[in-house]
Amino acid sequence: CRCTGYRPIWDAAKSLCVDAFDDEGVRGPCGTPCRECPERDTCEMDCNVKDKTNVNAGICCSSSSDKIRDYQKVLQSKHSETWWNQPNDMFPKELIPHRKNNVVNGDSGIDSIHAQTQEQLKKPLMIADSSIHCGGTWFQPVCLEELLDLFREFANDSGGIKMVVGNTEVGIETKFKHAVYPRMIHPSESIHSLYDIFSTESNFHIGACSSLSMLQHKCHEFMTSSSSDPLSSQKTRTAKPMHDMLRWFASTQIRNVACLGGNLATASPISDMNPLMAAMGAILVLASRPSADGAIKRRHIPVSDFFVGYRKVEKLEHEVIERVDVPLVKPQFEYVAPFKQARRREDDISIVTSGMRMTVTPAEENWVISDISIAFGGMAPKTVLARSTMASICGKPFTADTFMHARTELQNEFRMPDDVPGGQAEYRLTLACSFLHKFFLHCLAKLQKDVGSNKKKRYPPIPTIDDDECSGADGFVSKQKPCISGEQKFPAPKVAVGLEATHLADDESKSSEIPLAAKAVAEAKNSEKNDSTAVGKPATHASGPLHCTGEAIYADDIPAPANLLHGSLILATKCNATMRKIDVSPALNIAGVVAAFTHEDIEKLGGDNRMGPILLDEFAFLPKGEVVEFVGQPIGIVIGESQEIAETGARSVLVEYVEKEGKAVVSIEDAIEAGSFWTDFRHEIKRGGDSKVALNQSQVDGKKLVVVEGSFRCGGQEHFYLEPNSTLAIPSESGTNLTIYASTQAPTKTQDFCARVTNTPAAKVVVRMKRMGGGFGGKETRSVFSSVAAAVAAKLSNRPVRLTLNRDTDMSITGGRHAFLGIYKAGALVDQMSGSVKLHALDVQIYNNGGCKFDLTGPVLDRALFHIDNCYYWPHFHAVGTPCKTSQPPHTAFRGFGGPQGMAIAEHIIDHVAAECRISGDRLRRENLYCTNDCTPFGMRFGSQYTGAWNVPLMWDRLYNELDIPKRRAAASEFNKKNKWVKRGVGFIPTKFGIAFTAKYMNQGGALVHLYTDGTVLVSHGGTEMGQGLHTKVCQVAAQAFGIPLEDVYVNDSSTDKVANTIPTAASMSCDLYGMATLDACRQILKRIQPIKDSMPPGTQLRDIAKKAFFERVDLSAHGFFSVDNDRCGYDWSKEAPEGYPRDLPENSWKGHPFNYFTQGVAFAEVEVDVLTGDHKTSRVDVLVDVGSSINPAIDIGQIEGAFVQGMGWCTIEEVVYADDDHVWIRPRAKVFTTGPGTYKIPAFNDVPETFNVAILENAENPFAVHSSKAVGEPPFFLGCSVFHAIKDAVAAARGDSNKYFELRMPATSERIRMACCDDIASSCMSGEPTSFQPKGSF
């Protein structure tokens, strides 16, 4: 999930479990929920006292256990047996298993139908695809002889034959590698030898086609077999390693269909199971049938000898893997352990994976390693045994020295070149050596247990190790997956009064003697008394039920109109080259392809081929003779009768290029070296004199000046919205009109460019947007080009065209978050008497990687400059931002819009200063937080009348004291002293996020409101719904205004023919804009119907008032509009101070007031790091956010959780990789490597904080927004970086000097964490100085 942060999904799913409350962790220490405790009034337990305090303070508190309990009550009370039976009722009756003496749904004929179906399934099948898609021929044999006969007949024919069980490999080959297989076999489950799993006295026998889930289930059965079974111990010791590895193998969905035989046959060099099978001495049974009337021939080969090269195995074409025989592990003194490390724990392929097996034998004075097997994946082009290392160990004493020498041998055996495919050469070698050390510690613990269980026999002494070494024995592979739980606190619902009290007042109200705010407060309190409030309540997301059932309609779900065509973009395959020629004729020769369009066709339409949100520096379709500026640049579009045909056509188009001299500029460093900048958009902020002079001192006012300088890099991020870009373009009126259904945050921008490029008046182009499956800024500008392509094709063909980008295409060409580089010099004054440290001066240059087109790169950099102070006061400040032009795809808006990157650089500088001053980061941060009436470097003053209440110091102190952070840090330090290989860390950071578009004209919004005669209300506004709950909040505002139930207000969609000239839904401003605009429209209607209402009895329903107003010819529709006050938005970078500008006003305030107010917050995180692998888990997170007076606390908490987890992903596991100087193994240069879920990892369930507590600050009204609320979409994103700082804290503990500075680049991937620990194992695998070593990255 990319939106929720997983916690609510976990709660809802867990409520379906019968044992949801078996875990004591969901209750109080006594086992009873506090509010259900019979001793509630007298109980003095902390949990009860705290809860009663919250209740008395008007704070609503809800925990995971509360929600689970509520969900279960709802499920039990609201749904009938019919509702529960829906899945069975919908399932085909013919496939329901036969149940004796049972009639399904009263249909007595079901038994006979099922029996007939089962008979059919016992017969062999052959299905041939004779359509234009040419899907090949499928066979389903029902006995082994038939299967082997098919292989004998077709194995050596053209195209051969492929056996498919779960389609987990073949599906990838056909979709992404465009492989074509003319014949495929899916063996029937009636071939028992392929599917059965059973054990004998010597082996586990695993059918090659049995699913991995079934194997995992059987392993669990063997592990829990009866103790009376004489083989119980052996079965457990054999099954557990397989079971543990399978738990982390891909996903449950993949394991349900994938099989072990397929895993072995595809011979992936990074397979998890193959090294384990090789280490365990597994034997493959290969079956064949040389002649039709002959016997089945079986051949046995060890798994360790099966892999002969990259994706090559020791198997003849006509042979089939029938089963895998795994020898049972001995009942004692033989040990097996699986290891893996990936970019993400769940559902990810390994970077390095390993299986290790060892047998030790007691000798006179020690234990001897009598047998050992070590197999690796990810260390070579195939699964390999570490034969030299094994030879160096076998026969040696079982001691730490033996394994230390073995690590040296392992390094010699597997050291890889710098440009090895897959990269990460040093890290992969470090992992292999670390796994070996883990195996030693694992075996030592198991040996102690074996010896301890047989005290009657005398054994030689067991090797000893320091106690702190024991923590390295186990990793996440063998541990139980954690649950997610949390607590959510928010103020009691109320209707607060905000900007509407003054901004929407009419002339009559303004002339009244009663203050406007007082009147508004009175109205709000009156509505609370009458229980007619809609604002302030935690209402369900308007589309929530449809999201849950899968019935919510997105752009690609719209039913196909008549004559629909499908589109596929023609994309450039290289960059830094001139496109000389394009030939579409091969595409037109493919059956089912209707047309192909290029820039020449746009010229025929009379359209303008230029595009771009700020600069018109892009092309809809690249013209011949122009330079290709990024890999994947659109050249044209092919349309066909199906998606597959269109894609085939697009791939067949021939494009000729002329290479340019020199290499493409890819990274920020490349751009700096080449001087590749948009210099017109280089901006700076300066205050307090010359920072360079301020930093060139040794003392100031008798205080020592400590100066640091360095750099910090943070990488990009892929939006990974769950719905890729999708457009349905429908022409009408003989192609003169266009209706565009698009997944976009910017309907008007989409309308403008579709009109511009197709030469159609904007009034004849309607863009409609129902809902998006996520946007996060990625559909603010980068969705437009695909809509334009579909519009061009629809207009030229005069037929509807659907263009939905594949995930890999979307990720390849739409850009993402900008990578940043900060180069800084900073100084702080140290009071040597008190130990206090005050920030003094900062001089920083920041660069962002904008890609090849400007898009929104300049504004993103500007917001980074506005946030590079974060929450800290620097008296002398100088920051310069330079946008870099490279050959990456155009980068664009992403949640936070440059703010998080600026704040990340700020926090890194704070860490550096703290380390150099030998002061804790917590103290340095707290002592240098802005205070009320302080000013930012860009001239905004903190305080109620300026930006609203400045609450960060209050929130910092509250969380610091409530959590007792010093105690938590001390506990982490104590833990770290006792554990060498597992370290804990703590992170605690603040944030402020400016709310407004930095472009002044964009701070406006409109809404159209209709009141119908039945008392219901339809709202249309300029914002778009992308899951953030905007429509729900707007409906609450309207419902509150009219005093009607929330369900009586509806938003249908966002459409340019209802509300025109709209602003993109971005900058977290939408509720501020459209809530106010909607309220404006509502009040216009209310003012018109007030005389009607006054003429009717008190308490008359709105529907009766509306009906009477209609008959009295009163207009029941209104257009509302809102714009942020002129003096509360906009910033002119080049404006000089006017002559005579008052000196008591802040420096730079003459340039403008870039933000209306700040949303503020603080976050605390605790993590645990596995030093030997770089793996980490987030144990706990506590977040406190000031969101004003929340319009909908449930949605706001959801936004906080979702933003936090997305921010946590950006700074930990989400790494974007390009073909650059650091990744020369990727081709062509500048190509995006991370183009799908296989290579790019967003957080999964197991990455979410195990305890995730979120609180909304109470009594935090905001006079500058509707109903005193605050924007919430983007501000909490940066708080996810508290996890990054907790990891950094843990790494510092591993390095041995927590006060010594080091640069940990962002994201903190497992590679960066592992290599930053600088222990002896990692250091021996690095080239160069270990303390300054930096893993490769794309910045």
Q: Strand, coil or helix: what is 1146?
A: coil
Retrieve residue 347's tokens.
């559902």
Tell me how many degrees the CA angle 946-951-957 measures, rounded to the nearest 5. 155
In this structure, the strands spanning 1017-1021 and 1049-1051 are parallel
Asked if 341 and 431 count as a contact pair (C-beta separation under 8 A), the reply is yes
CB atoms within 10 A of CB 736: 12
Can you tell me the distance from the alpha carbon of 429 to that of 436, in angstroms, rounded to the nearest whole number? Answer: 11
Assign residue 137 a region (left: φ > 0; alpha: ψ between -120 and 50; beta: otherwise). Answer: beta
One-character DSSP codes across 1029-1042:
-HHHHHHHHHHHHH
Cα(994)–Cα(113) distance, integer angstroms: 66
837-849/876-884 β-pairing = parallel
DSSP letter (8 states) at residue 1135: P
Residues designated catalytic: 1274
Strand partners, 569: 637
**Could you give the CA distance from residue 962 to residue 958 in angstroms, rounded to a whole number?**
6
Instruction: Report strand pairing: 820-830 vs 703-714.
Output: antiparallel
User: Do 800 and 731 meet the contact criterion of CB atoms below 8 Å apart?
Assistant: yes
**Pairwise CA distance, residues 1190 & 1254, whole Å:** 14
755 membership: H or E segment, kind and range: helix 747-758
R_g of the chain, CA atoms, integer Å: 33
Q: Which of 485, 461, 338, 414 is nearest to 25 (CA)?
A: 485
As a whole number of angstroms, the distance between CA 313 and CA 168 comes to 19
Report yes or no: 984 and 975 within 8 Å, Cβ to Cβ: yes
Helices (H), 1175-1309: 1193-1211, 1281-1295
3-class state of residue 386 by DSSP:
coil
Spatial CA neighbour of 36 closest among 66, 74, 71: 66
CA-CA distance, 856 to 852, in Å (whole number)?
Answer: 12
Distance CA 308, CA 305 (A): 7
Determine contact, residues 1164/988, Cβ cutoff 8 Å.
yes
Q: Cα 1188–1194–1196 angle (5° rounding)?
A: 40
Coil, strand or helix at 253:
helix
Are the CB atoms for 821 and 846 separated by under 8 Å? yes
Which one, of 838, 827, 823, 843, lies nearest residue 691 by Cα? Answer: 843
- List, in sequence order, every residue forming a beta bridge with 990; answer none if it has no partner: 1162
Taking CA atoms, 810 is separated from 615, 816, 889, 1180, 1232, in Å, by 22, 11, 11, 34, 11
Q: Name the DSSP letter for residue 1122.
A: E
